[in-house]
């Protein structure tokens, strides 16, 4: 394929930012020419303003000669801004095949720098995606590998939770070390990610993200800058994995405690704590949990600090050693039923032991955990 646009992109890729990009298609051209009626279910809100796409690429920091993976490139506007910063390789992962002609043109021009993967980011394996020589030890500096994306809103939060789990296990992209992310979210979600204890937007997502990553809401983009414009503004967030998470327990245990402790955000946290336990023992067990964790039961759930969550997870983990079935208990699920606990063959939760009047567990023992 040879066209003036292609030649121009070739020059750009060879010479980096000194060269001018061929103009992006206008929003209307894009929609008409390629019959891209933005698919709502794929959350296709395009960002075609070069100043803003450059700003997103810049927020990722120094990417020159590194490997970059862009999620959901669409017609390739952020892709171009990334290429201008001359990464060693850029891999784009796009689910919608209608964008392939745009991306293949950039690929051809990029002299093997750009690789296009048609696939769903939720199932793409990044374990072997990047160059071996970029690998770093976890406690060394961050590798020159970056994940960037104007993520589809519909997948952004589940994807982030999936990636936090990968970070906790140092797998997928994080088998290469502490790979950094620069991602967009609905502004409100971005605010939740960075919200401190006591903050208006503090929630489960804040605690999960901040346990494993240093997070920053870098800037906000008005919804009107997108085509078609979403109803909300968009926040650009950077996440850098921590060398050591604050709460070191298994991801699922942390997720369970954080989720349940955030059930009633504005209410006293004892109410939320009760949801970790089956109904017939929940009041006593919740008191015990907060006592072991040395958390004031009057604290509201949104006021809990990461340190308090750390103690709560330790205390819950300690209680689960005696009653492993607590790990499987799901608030509102089938195991909510008292019969589940009484009639299950492997009865490892002795209800009698949990009734009022039981002696408190030894706080000192929990401290030793």
Q: Residues in the site for ligand SAM, rule: CB under 6 A?
A: 42-47, 71-74, 77-78, 93-96, 99, 120-122, 150, 152, 155
Of residues 296, 279, 278, the one with CA closest to residue 287: 296
- The tokens of 337 are what? 């039923």
User: Which C-beta is closer to ligand SAM: that of 48 or that of 257?
Assistant: 48
CB of 107 to ligand SAM, least distance (A): 16
CB of 78 to ligand SAM, least distance (A): 5
- Rounded to the nearest 10°, the torsion over CA 181, 185, 188, 194 is 0
CB of 225 to ligand SAM, least distance (A): 10
Angle (CA) 186 192 196, round 5°: 155
User: Which C-beta is closer to ligand SAM: that of 143 or that of 152?
Assistant: 152
User: Which C-beta is closer to ligand SAM: that of 42 or that of 320?
Assistant: 42
Of residues 58, 52, 47, 46, the one with CA closest to residue 17: 58
Which residue ranges make up the annotated binding site for S-adenosyl-L-methionine?
A: 45, 47, 72, 94, 120, 150
CB 257 within 8 A of CB 276: yes
Please tell me what DSSP assigns to residue 89: E
User: Which C-beta is closer to ligand SAM: that of 164 or that of 290?
Assistant: 164
Cβ-closest position to ligand SAM: 72
Q: What separation in angstroms does the CA of 14 have from each of 9, 70, 107, 195?
A: 9, 20, 13, 42
CB of 115 to ligand SAM, least distance (A): 14
CB 76 within 8 A of CB 99: yes
CB of 230 to ligand SAM, least distance (A): 8
Which residue ranges make up the annotated binding site?
A: 45, 47, 72, 94, 120, 150
User: Which C-beta is closer to ligand SAM: that of 152 or that of 245?
Assistant: 152
Spatial distance between the Cα atoms of 304 and 202, rounded to a whole number of angstroms: 9
């Amino acid at each position: 394929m040879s066209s003036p646009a292609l030649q121009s992109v070739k020059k750009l890729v060879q010479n980096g930012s000194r060269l001018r990009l061929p103009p992006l298609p206008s929003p209307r051209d894009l929609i008409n020419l390629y019959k891209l009626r933005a698919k709502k279910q794929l959350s296709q809100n395009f960002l075609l303003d070069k100043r803003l796409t450059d700003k997103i690429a810049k927020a990722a920091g120094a990417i020159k000669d590194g490997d970059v993976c862009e999620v959901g490139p669409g017609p390739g506007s952020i892709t171009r801004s990334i290429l201008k910063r001359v990464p060693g390789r850029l891999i784009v992962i796009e689910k919608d095949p209608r964008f392939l002609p745009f991306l293949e043109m950039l690929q051809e021009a990029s002299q093997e720098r750009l690789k296009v993967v048609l696939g769903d980011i939720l199932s793409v394996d990044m374990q072997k995606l990047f160059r071996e020589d970029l690998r770093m030890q976890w406690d060394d500096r961050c590798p020159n590998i970056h994940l960037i994306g104007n993520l589809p809103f519909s997948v952004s939060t589940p994807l982030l939770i999936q990636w936090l789990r990968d970070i906790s296990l140092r797998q997928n992209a994080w088998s290469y070390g502490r790979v950094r992310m620069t991602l967009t979210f609905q502004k409100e979600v971005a605010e939740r990610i960075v919200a401190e204890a006591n903050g208006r937007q503090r929630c489960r997502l804040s605690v999960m993200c901040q346990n494993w990553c240093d997070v920053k809401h870098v800037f906000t983009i008005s919804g009107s800058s997108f085509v078609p414009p979403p109803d909300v503004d968009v926040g650009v967030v950077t996440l850098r994995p921590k060398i050591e998470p604050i709460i070191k327990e298994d991801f699922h245990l942390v997720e369970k405690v954080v989720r349940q402790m955030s059930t009633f955000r504005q209410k006293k946290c004892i109410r939320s704590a009760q949801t970790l336990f089956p109904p017939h023992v929940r009041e006593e067990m919740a008191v015990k949990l907060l006592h072991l964790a040395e958390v004031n039961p009057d604290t509201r759930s949104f006021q809990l600090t990461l340190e308090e969550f750390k103690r709560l997870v330790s205390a819950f983990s300690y209680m689960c050693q005696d009653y492993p079935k607590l790990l499987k208990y799901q608030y509102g699920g089938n195991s909510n039923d008292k019969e589940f606990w009484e009639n299950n063959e492997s009865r490892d939760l002795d209800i009698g032991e949990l009734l009022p009047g039981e002696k408190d567990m030894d706080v000192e023992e929990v401290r030793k955990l």
